A and B are shown apart, each in its own frame.
Chain A
Amino acid sequence: MYELLLFGQVPRTRHEQLLKILAGVAAMQPQRVLERHVIYKPIREPEEPGSNLKRGANQSVAQQKQTKQTTSKDLYFTRVVQTLNENDFGREVEKPTSSTGDSSDPKWAFHFQDVPDTGDRGVLMRLTFRTDIVGGDACEYMTSLGNNFVSEYYQEGHRFVHGNIVILLHRILQVPGARVVETAPTQSLPDFRTLEPLDPSGGYILQATIRVQDLNNPSILDGGVDELKRFKQSMRGCVELDVPDRLLFDTRVKYKPKNIANVGMVATQAPVR
C-alpha cells in the first residue's frame, strides 16, 4: 500500500506545547510509542547499473527478438521494528517461543519502504509494506533470508489519530558512546535513561501519514492528498509541514565499484556514474 507523508521539525522547547495543541486538534490523549528499529542489508552485492542492458549488436535477427532486456532489480535496506514498553528496557530481550496472549498487538513487524515517487503532488508518496510477525524470532529470520545486520536505533514519541491521518511526533535515540561495528542486535536492552538523542539539540520530527490501499482510484488518492493538505493548512503558524527531498528517503543499496587492482579490467568495466 502507499503512504502519503508530510514532515515538519519541532525544536525541543516547543515539544510540550505542540503535544497539547495536537491533543486538542485530534481530540484524544497522546499514545506513547516506543520502538526499536533494526536495519538489515542484503548480503548480495548489487550489480553494475548498466549491466542488464545488452552491449553490442546481435548478428542474428531471430535471437534479438527472443532475448528480452531485463529491468535491473534493486536491492533495498529493510528493517524490523519492535514495539516496546517503558519497562522492557534494562532487561533481557525475551525470545518469543510461542505467541503469548498477553498483548493483542504483535511485537515485531517487518517494514519495507520503497523510494518515494517522483512527481510533485505536494506530499511525499511511497510504496510500503508492513508485515506483523506473530511468532518466531524475527532477527534470525532476517539473517536466514540472506541479510546482514547493519545497525539499530530506538524511536520514541507520541501518536495521534485525526480522521484518517496518523500523526507521529518522535525523535531517534541511540546508545551513546563510540560507534561499535556490531554484527547482531543486542540481546539485552539498555536502560532507557542512558539513551541519547541522535540530534544533539533534542529536536523532534512531526510526521503526518495517510495510507492508501492502491493507486487504482485517483479520486481516493486525491482525497487523501487533500486531507493531508488541509491538515497542513490547519497547522500553519504552529508547525511547518513540508515535503523533504525524496532522495533522502532512498532505501536502495548503492552500487560500489570494485577497487582498481587490475588495469586490464578497468578497460572493460563500464564507467562509474
Chain B
Amino acid sequence: MAGTDSTTQVALTAWPVPENEDLSPAEIAQQLYLLGVQRGNFRNITEDALQNEIETHVLIQEDAQGQHEEGHDKKPQNKKERLKEIDEIKQKMSMELTNALFYARAGLDLIALALSKGNPRVTDQFLSPPIKQLNVPREAFGLASAREEEVGPTEERKREILAKGTRMKALESSANNILKAAMQLETEVRKETKYWDQVLSISEKGWALRRLRRDVKHSPLAVRYGYTEVSDHFRHREIAPLRMGEDGSIMLDPALTQRPKTIRVRISEDGNITGASSLPRLDEALDQPIEKLIQLARDSLFEEEIYYEISMETRQLLSHGVELRNSIVHLPAPKFGNRSVSRTILIDCVDRVEQLSQSSNNSQDSLARNVAEALRILLSHEHRMRLHRRSRIPPPLSQRKQQTPPPPLLRTILSCFQHLSAVDALKGYLGRTLRTLSSAGLEVPIQITYEATWAILSKVVTEASRKEFSAMDRLLDGFTRPFDSIVALMLPSSEIGQHEKLTIATRTSLGHPIYGSEYKVTIPSSVASILLLPQESKREFKFSNFTELIAYIDWILSLDLSHNFMSRITPRFVGVDQESRCTVLIMKRKKQVRKEMIAQFSDGSLQVTLISDDPPAQAEYVWDGTGGQESFKARVMAFLKAN
C-alpha cells in the first residue's frame, strides 16, 4: 500500500464547529481577529447587511468605494480636516473613557467600603488599583454615614471670613520669611565682601596665601608669614589661618595676637647695665590693620629664631667663655681700649613692649644696637646660604649622614671681637715701642691693616668672582671666614732704600685649627742671618700667646739694634752675641778695656746698659717714650767715650 510510505496523513475537511455557540473569551478574541483579517474594519457592518451578504454572496465593499468616489475631489482638504476631527474626537473619547473609568472605580470603591463593614479583608480584593497603591493599611478603611449639616448664612459668612483670615496670615508669614531671607542674604554678602576685601589687601601686599589643609575640601585660607628656610624647629609655626569673624572682618588667630618678641642685647660692666638695644616702639592697640599684625608676627618669628640658633650655638662655644644662664646668653665682650673693665654682652628674647631701658647709663647703646643688627644680618645671610646649599646637586646617597652645624651667628661676632682685640693689643704695644724709638731718635715706619678683606671691601663688592652670590652675600661670606691682619714695620736699623720688613700676621678663627688668635711673625733676612738660620728656611714663627709674641718682638728689635746699629756706630767693635750684648774693645791708656753694651726692649721701653771692665762699672739709660731725651746714637757714643 502506498499510503503507509507517507509521513503524514491529512484529512481535508472543514474545521469542526463546536457544539455550543457560547464561545470562551479566548475564542471570541480569536474569532474577532480572524474577522478583522478577513474584513478589515467593522465600521459599516450591520446585521442586515451581513444577512444580505450571506444571501447574495456579494461582499460589501461598495459603501467604502462609494464614499471614496464622492470625496475624490475634496480629498486633500478633507484629509487634514478629517485628521483634525479625528484627533478631537479621539481626545473627547479618551476623556469620556477616563471619566467612565473614574466613576466605575469610585463605584467599586464604594461597594468595597460598604462591604468592608462586615469583613475588612474585602478591601484587598475589591478596591481599585490606584487606591491600593497608596499602601494604606486595610484597617484604616471604613464607611460611616454622616448627616449633611445645614449651614446658615451667618455661619457661612463666618466660615468665609475665617478662611480669608487664615489665608492672609499664611501669605503674611510667607512674605515675612522671604523678607528675612533677603536680609540675611544681604548681611552675608556684606560679610563676604568685607572678608575678601581684607584677604585681597593682604595678598596684594605680597603675603602668600594658601589653604589650611590640603585634604579637606572647604578649609579656610591661611597666610604664610614664616620664612622658607627656617630650621625644622620652627616649621610648624609658619602659617596663620584667616577665619571670618562676626561682622566679616578677619578673626585674629592666636598666632597673630601673641605679644611679639624681640632680641634684647645689653652690655653689662661689672654688673651694671650700661647699654641696651631696642627696636622702635610698638603701637599697643590690637585694631591695627591685619597686614601690620602679620608683619609683626613674622618679625617676632625671626627674632625667636635668632634666639633659638644662638642658644644652640652656645653649647659649642662653652670653651670660649660663652654661657647660657637663666635663658640669657652671656658673651664676653672685647675691651676696646679700656682694659680695667670686664664687659659682658647679655642676649635674651623678651616681649617687644618690655624693652625700655631701665638703666640710666646708655653709653654703650651703640655697641648693643650694632650687635643686635649684626645678628639679624647674619641670620638672613644664613637663610640665603641654606637656599644656595639646597640648590646644589645633592651628593649620592650613602651611609654617611651629613650634619649641618648651627649657623655661625655668635661665632662670627666672637671671632670679630677677638680679632679686633688682638690687633688692638698688638697695635698698643707697637705704638709704645715706636714712641720709645722715636724718642730715641730712631724713626720706624709702620703699616697696619686691620683685616685683609675689609681693606679691599669695595673691590669685593663690585667684583664678581662668584657670580651666584649677591654682593651682600659675598661681603658676609668674608665675615664667616678667618680674619687676617697684617702689620709690617721696618727695622730701626734699616736705612733708606732697604726693605727689611718685619711682618706680623694675626689670624683669628674660632674653629679648627686655630681656636682663637694666632700670630705669625716673618723676620727679614738680616735678622735671620743673625740668628744663624739657614738661608732657605722659612722665616716664619707662630705664636698663640700675646705675651710670648711681644717678648719675641722685643728680642728681635734688641738684636737688630745691637747687631746692625750699634755695631756700625763704633769702629772698634768686636762682637755681638745673642743676648744683644755688644762688645767693644777700646784702647785706653794703652790697655784694652772691654766694654759691653746691652740694648734691651722691655714692655715698650728701651734700655741701654753699659758694663765696663776696667774699672768695673755699670751704667744704664732708659728711653720710655717721653720726649726730650737724647738720641740713641748720642747715648751710645757717650757711653763709649765715658771712662
Contact = CB atoms under 8 A, between A and B. Distances in A.
Interface of A: 1-2, 27-28, 31, 101, 103-104, 161, 163-164, 166, 210-214, 217, 220, 223-224
Interface of B: 228, 387, 390-399, 465-467
Chief secondary structure at chain B's binding surface: loop
B387 A211 contact: no
Nearest to A212: B397
17 contacts: A28-B390, A101-B465, A103-B467, A161-B392, A161-B393, A163-B394, A164-B397, A211-B395, A212-B396, A212-B397, A213-B396, A213-B397, A213-B398, A214-B398, A220-B397, A220-B398, A220-B399
Contacts of A217: 398-399
A214 B395 CA distance: 12
A210 B393 contact: no
Contact of A27 (B228, B393, B394, B398): B228
Q: Give the top 6 A-B pairs by smallest Cβ distance, nearest first.
A: A213-B398, A211-B396, A213-B396, A1-B396, A212-B397, A164-B394
A166 B466 contact: no
A24 B394 CA distance: 19
Nearest to B388: A28
Contacts of B392: 161
Of B228, B397, B465, B467, chain A has the most CB atoms within 10 Å of the CB of B397
A163 B392 CA distance: 10
Nearest to A227: B397
Nearest to B398: A213
A28 B391 contact: yes
Contacts of A163: 394
A1 B396 CA distance: 8
Contact of B394 (A1, A103, A104, A161): A161
B418 to A, nearest CB: 30
A104 B466 CA distance: 8
A28 B394 CA distance: 15
Contacts of B228: 27
A223 B398 CA distance: 11
A161 B466 contact: no
Nearest to B210: A24
A212 to B, nearest CB: 5
Given A28-B390, A161-B393, A211-B394, 13 more contacts: A1-B396, A28-B387, A28-B391, A31-B391, A101-B465, A161-B390, A163-B394, A211-B397, A212-B396, A212-B397, A212-B398, A220-B399, A223-B397
A168 to B, nearest CB: 10
Contacts of A101: 465
Contacts of A31: 391
Given A27-B228, A104-B466, A210 B397 contact: yes
A81 B515 CA distance: 43
A224 B398 CA distance: 10
Contacts of A212: 396-398
Contacts of A27: 228
Contacts of B390: 28, 161
Contacts of B394: 161, 163-164, 166, 211
Given A27-B228, A28-B387, A104-B466, A166 B393 contact: yes
Nearest to B467: A103
Contacts of A2: 396
